[in-house]
Structure 1
Amino acid sequence: MNANFQLLPEAVATGRLESKQDVLEQVAALFARAYAIDSTQALEGIEVREKLGSTGFGNGVAIPHARSSEVNRPVAVLLRLESPVDFDAADGMPVELVFGLLSPENAGAAHLHALAAISRLVRDDAKREALLDAPDAEAMFALLSNHLDRDAA
């Protein structure tokens, strides 16, 4: 789909969660479901990174990310929350869209390129609003597929 990261249809979901920890656990579960990654290892990696500082990006978006020995290229998940959750974001806004990213342990530049691609996407107000307004996970995946395919061309 995109040179920066892989995103599978089963890696996109919506949900109602109560806390930042619930969100991180759901992101890890999505990685497990979509990419057959151990959810405990994914969660531990994301939590270690989160302790360094919130991955709340701003504008209602968080990008929890980590390195993992279980992937051979950057892989992503997308979770849209039915109600915003406090994520200790720099701008103080609660989070509604969560892009999770796992990259290989030795993928320095690839990890940064994937983070940059996600941040460009979510900084685009129209694209972010379209993801928030999409009726379901399938429609969210279709929007992302179209965007990422265009970027890759």
Structure 2
Amino acid sequence: MKLYDFLPIEHIEPDLKGQTKFQIIEELLDLLDKNKRLVDREVALQDVLAREGYLSTGLENGLAIPHAKTDGVNRLEIAFGVKKNGVDFESLDGKPAHLIFLVLSPRDTSGPHIQTLAVISRNLKKKEIREMLLQAKTREEIMDIIKNRFEY
């Protein structure tokens, strides 16, 4: 599964503005909504927030992957953003998140959802890729990294 097949360039934000994890989640949802990828924004938001309430999706090494299965989408949808100075995502290592992927899937599917989370976490374990994404200044640079540096 190629991440970029589900992550159009319009769903990438190289300079997230939100100051809290909830603002960041909303900002990434807005990218999907603006590009008419959500069936119901409010349902998608509530499902992501419910998942966050259950267990934070802040991982280690500056990565967060807020995600949910939701009736708010018809297919797998991904948005990605970079928060240069980081945001508290209640991460496992206690450090701020800088690289945030939002992953939404329809409730009745599980394979692509799990594969997507695995591809993201496996690639973002590599310090070189994390640093490249943090240094990227444009959507195009980020997409180039995801297309040509990620292993699938």
Matches within 5 A, 1:31-110: 31-37=32-38, 38-110=40-112
Structure 1 residues 6, 20: closer, same or farther in 2, change over 3 A? same
The structure whose residues are more often helix, as a share, is 1
1:11 maps to 2:24 = no
Q: Distance in 1 between the 2:90 and 2:63 partners? A: 11
TM-score by length of 2: 0.88
* Cα offsets for 1:38-68 (capped at 9, x unmatched): 3322211110100011100111110000112
Is this contact kept in 2: 1:4–1:110, CA < 8 A?
Answer: no
User: Where do 5+ consecutive residues of structure 1 fail to align?
Assistant: none
Is this contact kept in 2: 1:122–1:128, CA < 8 A?
Answer: yes
* Cα offsets for 1:76-107 (capped at 9, x unmatched): 11010132111111100001110010112111
Letter in 2 for 1:106: D
| Secondary structure at 2:78 match in 1 | strand
Which is worse superposed, 125-134 or 35-44?
Answer: 35-44
TM-score by length of 1: 0.88
Cα deviation, residue 34, structure 1: 3.5
| Secondary structure at 1:56 match in 2 | coil
Q: Distance in 2 between the 1:108 and 1:146 partners? A: 26
Q: Distance in 1 between the 2:33 and 2:74 partners? A: 15
Q: Distance in 2 between the 1:3 and 1:79 partners? A: 14
Structure 1 residues 96, 24: closer, same or farther in 2, change over 3 A? same
1:124 corresponds to which of 126, 132, 137: 126
Structure 1 residues 82, 4: closer, same or farther in 2, change over 3 A? closer
User: Where do 5+ consecutive residues of structure 2 fail to align?
Assistant: none
Q: Distance in 2 between the 1:142 and 1:59 partners? A: 21
Q: Distance in 2 between the 1:49 and 1:121 partners? A: 23
Cα deviation, residue 137, structure 1: 2.1
The list of structure 1 runs, each at least 4 consecutive aligned residues, that deviate by more than 3 angstroms after superposition, is 70-73
Q: Distance in 2 between the 1:22 and 1:120 partners? A: 26
Identity %: 32
CA RMSD of aligned residues (A): 2.0
Letter in 1 for 2:111: A
